[in-house]
A and B are shown apart, each in its own frame.
Chain A
Amino acid sequence: MRSSQDKLEKNWVTLLIVVGLVVVVFYFGPLLYVVNISLQSQQQFLTHAMSIPHPFEWSNFVQAWQQASMGAYFLNSILYTIIPTIVALMLSVCLAFPISRRYIHASRKIHALLTSGLFFPVAYIPLFIEARMLHLYDNRPGYMILHLQDAMVFGFFLFVGYFRTIPRELDESAVIDGCNYIRYLATIISPLAKPAFATMGIYAAIQIWNDLIGPVVFLATPSLFPLSRGLFVFYGTNAGEWTLLAAGVLIAAAPLVIAFLLLQRYFIEGATAGALKS
């Protein structure tokens, strides 16, 4: 082991203080403040917002959950996130495998076209018109279908790269053994691409879960809203009730923050790869 890599920097105290101060003031402090507010009574917030909650007002979370109908929005968000992610995964595997192997005509051209899809701008205006024509506007299945394209193109890009590392001989032996193509994809090829599934799944889940413009454009009925828009509406109708809003913000942020802390490496990979798009 090289000692230079394990030794602390000579000026580590300065680094700790300067970087620590910046991170704490801008990244940890705001989070702590929101947690603090979320546990205060409205009365305390108006007089002593900066001090520790006294007493702890846990009821803010219950109240935010009920008043903002967060239970229903949560269910919508889970549905909208899981189903399109799984379907897009399947679609992109079905597209990526034969094209990475050049098993069909014009594989190269289709590959170039689908990859260019990564750089298409999100065209909400035509999508809105299309959604109305195809009866995808303001309903759950439609909303989910409209989220397939983005995740699918990204997955395609990832899977093509991944499948190239799997030797062709595997295909040949599968054919000799009389293995059905779909079964081969599902039980042999897909399990070999697990890391790509993880990266794409996390990327798609972050995008869809957090999408706000999508539900503003494609949904009109409040009961169909996902959490992102539900929370925004709650903000619009309860402006000034910051203790409740803080509790709502924390409830909405919790699932992704917890997942992030547990699977940090995959999240950074998924989000970084996803920045290609945003």
Chain B
Amino acid sequence: MNNVFGGRQRSLIYLTMAPGLLVFLLFGVIPSVATLVISFTDYLAIPGVPTHFVGFANYIQLFVSNAAGLKESLLDTLMFAGGVTIFQNLIALWLANALTKKFPGVRLFRTLVFMPIVLGVTVIGLMWSLLLAPSGGPAAALLGLFGTSSAFFGSSKLAMPLVIFVQIWANLGFTTVVYIAGIHTVPRELDEAAKIDGASGWKRFWRVTFPMIAPSVTVNVILAAAGSLRTYDLIYVLTDGANHTNTLGMYMFNTAFQGSGDLGLGAAIGMLQFIITIIVVFALQRYLTHREEAMSS
């Protein structure tokens, strides 16, 4: 297309674009390709140690020598991603349906649910570690009333459900905003008509509103699934992967950056995580788009 800026002005365009493109190349393009390359090396985080290409050695170590650890990690990832995706969406649907109604305090409730959007994982993690402290915390006091106690994040049974809970707690506001926006696009007349026909509140929601917000469901399910398959910063603060919360992301991080820092093996785990995420997201995308079409026809 013809450029109104000519001559010296034109070179200014290229000059001002150069730093941005350099940043993108160095910190965007190269790292996203390099993970694959590093996964074929024995790169260690210790400076000065020479690096060699080792072929598939990292992958063999991952799938063969450390098969038990990998199996556990895959199971933890499935639990975490599945739990977060399903419950975050169900709770947000319920909440969005309620928060789009008129009643006193609704704006205050919205504000409170959205607030964790700005809180970082350190603050969220410490807050819930305090609330769920095995002794002295309010949850422990509550259990004490029933004469029991729990190690919470230190319990091999409870750690995963609690990590899922905190992850949902932190991101519920976002999912709810998307559903609220979706519900606002549903014509009021439809709901009114169903009301006149005598349909109850929940029936109206599932039969009338829910099919109409299929696009919001697609967005929220995919974002929750992709996010929970990749994220591990909250798990890092809460359990550091202990007690069956060692998701692939956490496993990758601890392999690469704790102890002697096996970056090559970490990169191999990162590749596996990346491939799983891509497959799951594509499958969900396909399924949910078909579902949208079926709903709108």
Contact = CB atoms under 8 A, between A and B. Distances in A.
Interface of A: 4-9, 11-12, 15-16, 18-20, 22-23, 26-28, 30, 33-34, 37, 45-46, 49-50, 91-92, 94-95, 98, 101-104, 107, 110, 113-114, 117, 120-121, 123-130, 132, 134, 145-146, 148-149, 152-153, 156, 168, 171-172, 175, 180-182, 185, 206, 209-213, 216-217, 227-229, 231-232, 235, 242, 245-246, 248-249, 252-253, 256-257, 259-261, 264, 267-268, 271-272, 275-276, 278
B101 A260 contact: no
Contacts of B106: 19
Contacts of A229: 122
Contact of A175 (B5, B101, B109, B120): B5
Given A8-B103, A146-B27, A121 B34 contact: no
Interface in B150-201: 169, 174, 177-178, 188, 192, 201
B267 A212 contact: no
23 contacts: A28-B112, A30-B131, A49-B136, A91-B19, A91-B20, A107-B1, A124-B253, A125-B38, A125-B267, A128-B256, A129-B38, A129-B263, A130-B26, A130-B30, A145-B23, A148-B23, A152-B24, A171-B4, A180-B9, A213-B232, A242-B130, A256-B118, A259-B118
Given A28-B112, A49-B136, A125-B266, A249 B127 contact: yes
A146 B30 CA distance: 13
Given A16-B105, A260-B117, A212 B138 contact: no
B284 interface: no
B12 A182 contact: yes
Contacts of A211: 120
Interface stretch (B62-70, B77-85, B223-231): B223-231
Given A127-B31, A256-B118, A101 B1 contact: yes
Contact of B120 (A33, A125, A153, A209): A209
Interface string B102-136: 11111001011111111111110111111101001
Nearest to A234: B126
Contacts of B117: 206, 260, 267-268, 271
B119 A253 contact: yes
B112 A27 contact: yes
Interface of B: 1, 3-5, 9, 12-14, 16-17, 19-21, 23-24, 26-32, 34-35, 38, 43, 45, 47, 95, 98-99, 101-106, 109, 111-123, 125-131, 133, 136-138, 141, 169, 174, 177-178, 188, 192, 201, 223, 227, 230-233, 236-237, 252-253, 256-257, 263, 266-267, 270, 274, 277
Contacts of B123: 210, 231, 249, 252-253
B252 to A, nearest CB: 8
Given A210-B122, A257-B119, A264-B111, A123 B3 contact: no
A256 B114 CA distance: 13
A53 to B, nearest CB: 15
Contact of B130 (A180, A231, A245, A276): A245
A246 B45 CA distance: 35
A237 B179 CA distance: 41
B23 A152 contact: yes
B17 A94 contact: yes
Given A181-B13, A209-B120, A125 B35 contact: yes
Contact of A27 (B113, B223, B257): B113
A34 B30 contact: no
A109 B103 CA distance: 50
B58 to A, nearest CB: 12
A276 to B, nearest CB: 8
A113 B20 CA distance: 13
Given A7-B102, A149-B23, A98 B237 contact: no
Contacts of B178: 272
A212 B99 contact: no
Given A123-B270, A212-B121, A252-B123, A130 B13 contact: no
Contacts of A94: 16-17, 19-20
A149 B28 contact: yes
A203 B80 CA distance: 26
Nearest to A168: B4
Most buried by A among B24, B121, B138, B201: B24
Contacts of B16: 94, 181-182, 185
Nearest to A121: B274
Most buried by B among A18, A45, A121, A257: A121
A228 B121 CA distance: 8
**Shortest 10 CB-CB distances between A and B: which pairs?**
A210-B120, A126-B34, A12-B103, A149-B27, A91-B20, A126-B31, A123-B31, A94-B16, A102-B1, A256-B118
A261 B31 CA distance: 37
A149 B13 CA distance: 20
B131 A123 contact: no
Contacts of A18: 98
A210 B121 contact: yes
B32 to A, nearest CB: 4
B257 A231 contact: no
B136 to A, nearest CB: 6
